[in-house]
Amino acid sequence: MAGSQYGTIFRISTWGESHGKALGVVIDGCPAGLPLKEQDFEDYMGRRRPNAGKFSTKRNEPDQVQILSGTFEGRTTGTPISLIIWNQDQRSHDYADLADKYRPGHADFGFDAKYGFRDYRGGGRSSGRETVGRVAAGALASKILKELGISFDTRATAIGGHPFKEAEPYLDQCRAEGDSCGSEVNCLIHGVPAGIGDPVFDKLDARLGQAIFSIGAVKSLDIGDGSLVSQAKGSENNDAFGLKNGRIAPLTNHAGGILGGISTGADIRLHVYFKPTPSISLRQDTVTKDGKETKISIHGRHDPVIGPRAAVVVESMAAITILDAMMINMTARLSSIKDFYR
C-alpha cells in the first residue's frame, strides 16, 4: 500500500486531490448497528471549514459528506462505509503558473523525485484539503467513542507563540506582511479506560505518534509533559498511584495518560506543534523543475496559520487511533473470548 490507509481493525482508506472531482474515505471495519446519517458529519466538517473570521482561507465550500454505502435503514451494517465530498470550488487557474516551480516548504520537489511528475493544482494529494477524508472518518470514530464514554477537548492554544486569544494583532501583521506563522494545538482525551494500547511497536503513544505526524505541517508532538520530562527528575516525573473514587489511578498526570504504551485511565494529553503555512506571498528563492534558479510568490486563498482549522484533524486522527486500539484490545484475554462465545 502506498500510504493512504490507516488502522488495523477500524481501517480507513482516503483518496482525492485538492482540485480533483471529489475526495473521500472508505471505512472498513466499522461495527454494525451504529445510527448514522449525513448530518452526523456536519459538526466535524464545520470545525474544519474556513469560517468568516480572520484566521482562515477565503475558500469556502460546504463540504457536505454523502454516504454512498454501508448503512441500511439509518444504521451501519458492518460493511464498508464509503463517504464522498465533492469539490465544488476548483480554481485551478490560480495554480497554473506554479507548475514548474518548486514551492518552498511544500512537497512538490519530493513528489517529482518520487513519482516523476505531479498534480500541481493546489498541492494535489498533499494539499491540506486531503484531510476532509480523515475528518469524515474521525466524526464517525468520535461518535462511537462517545457511546463508550470518551470525549475530546481539542483547541488551538497558541499562534506564533502568542496565546490563542491574544494573537489577533500578531496575525494581522503576518497577513499584512504577506507572511504566515506557526501554531499549537492541544488535545485532551477523557474517558479512555486503562489497558488500551499494545506493548512494543503498537504502543498507544506510538500509534498516536504515527497518526499525528501524518498530518501535514506537524513538526513536533508532546505526550503528557512532553519535552519537559528531559529536564525533570524521576521523583518529580513519576505519577504516584492511589485511589480515586475507589479505583486505582495515577494521582498526577505527567505521563499524559499512557505508561509503557498502555493507557492508565487518566486523561490522554497531546500537544501538537504546527509549522507556518508554507504558502506565502512574500518573494522566495527557489528553482524550476529543470534546475534554474528563480523567484516565487504564492498568491491564492491560504490560511496564514494552520492550527485553528487543524485542531479537528488532530482530534479525528486521535479518535480513529483510540477506537482501533479499543477494538483490538477486546481480544487480549482468553476469558473475554470465552465469554463472547459462550
Longest dimension (CA), the chain: 71
How big is the chain, counted in residues?
342
Tell me if 329 contacts a copy of itself by CB under 8 A. yes
Containing 311, the helix (H) or strand (E) segment is helix 307-329
* Torsion, CA 281, CA 284, CA 287, CA 289, rounded to 10: -20
Tell me if 128 contacts a copy of itself by CB under 8 A. no
Tell me if 261 contacts a copy of itself by CB under 8 A. yes
Among the candidate windows 37-45, 48-56, 57-65, 229-237, which touches a copy of itself by CB under 8 A?
229-237
Tell me if 308 contacts a copy of itself by CB under 8 A. no
CA quadruple 41, 47, 51, 57: dihedral sign:
negative
Q: How far is the CB of 322 from a copy of itself (least distance, A)?
A: 12
Tell me if 52 contacts a copy of itself by CB under 8 A. no
The DSSP bridge partners found for residue 100 are none
Member of 53, 74, 116, 169 binding a copy of itself (CB under 8 A): 116
Tell me if 136 contacts a copy of itself by CB under 8 A. no
Tell me if 74 contacts a copy of itself by CB under 8 A. no
Tell me if 315 contacts a copy of itself by CB under 8 A. no
Tell me if 186 contacts a copy of itself by CB under 8 A. no
Report residue 209 CA to chain centroid gap: 11
Starting at the earlier edge strand, list the strands of the sheet with 81-86: 5-6, 11-16, 22-28, 81-86, 66-67
Q: How far is the CB of 315 from a copy of itself (least distance, A)?
A: 16
Tell me if 270 contacts a copy of itself by CB under 8 A. no
* Torsion, CA 92, CA 98, CA 104, CA 108, rounded to 10: 70
Q: How far is the CB of 40 from a copy of itself (least distance, A)?
A: 14
Member of 146, 166, 190, 330 binding a copy of itself (CB under 8 A): 330
42 vs 275 by CB, closer to a copy of itself: 275
Cell of 152: 475530546
Tell me if 265 contacts a copy of itself by CB under 8 A. yes
Tell me if 146 contacts a copy of itself by CB under 8 A. no
Q: How far is the CB of 39 from a copy of itself (least distance, A)?
A: 17
Give me the DSSP letters along 239-293: --EEEETTEEEESS-TTTTEETTEE-SSPEEEEEEEPPPS--SS-EEEEBTTS-E
